[in-house]
Amino acid sequence: MWNYPLFQTQRYIGVDIDKTSLDLGRKTYPRAEAVRVPMEQATHVKGDYLLCVQVFNNVHFDVKRTIDAVGALCAMVNPKGTLIFNIGKDSKKYEEDIDALLSSKFGTVEKIRYGSVYSTRQRPMIVSLIFALAMLKFTSLRGIGGYQKVYYFCTNRRS
């Protein structure tokens, strides 16, 4: 739900298993819709643009469901649509299978590897923001902690 301000869409649908997050999101952004279901079972939710950020490395996500989840994300994207998501280091062992799945479903698949500077402990939000801006400008900083995470940018969903 927190990405709502980045989009100017007719509909914005937040999918999450956590009721508290969805309720808070709906309260903050009343035009947003909420669907409480594991993303692996959310194939009935459809969109032209699907963003799934910081979920695969969430403490509540079962990494053994990685391929099911990526398959479901693909199914949720309308033809010609776009899918953006990231995986953490625990899901990386499925990377080859993810790549094969994505290339069968999308016209183009781009990957960006990046580091895990925040994987070990929590820091104040302002510190994260400063790091994020620094990494945006100085791309070599993205490798701090090893290139253990991957961002996927997939466009032109095949029919």
Ligand X SMILES: C[S@@+](CC[C@H](N)C(=O)[O-])C[C@H]1O[C@@H](n2cnc3c(N)ncnc32)[C@H](O)[C@@H]1O
Binding interface with ligand X (CB under 6 A): 1-3, 15-18, 21, 38-40, 53-55, 58, 60-61
Minimum CB separation from ligand X for residue 140, in Å? 26
Query: The tokens 């929590």 sit on which residue?
Result: 122
Query: What is 136-157 written as a DSSP string?
Result: HHSGGGGGTT-S-EEEEEEEEE
Minimum CB separation from ligand X for residue 93, in Å? 18
Query: Of 80 and 93, which CB lies nearer to ligand X in the complex structure?
Result: 93
Minimum CB separation from ligand X for residue 31, in Å? 15
DSSP 11: -
DSSP 40: G
Calculate the alpha carbon distances from 151 to 116, 155, 159 in Å.
12, 13, 23
Query: Of 18 and 97, which CB lies nearer to ligand X in the complex structure?
Result: 18
Residue 25's H or E segment, with its range, is helix 19-28
Query: Of 7 and 107, which CB lies nearer to ligand X in the complex structure?
Result: 7
Minimum CB separation from ligand X for residue 159, in Å? 26
Query: Of 60 and 137, which CB lies nearer to ligand X in the complex structure?
Result: 60
Query: What is 60-94 written as a DSSP string?
Result: TS-GGGHHHHHHHHHHHEEEEEEEEEEE-TTTGGG
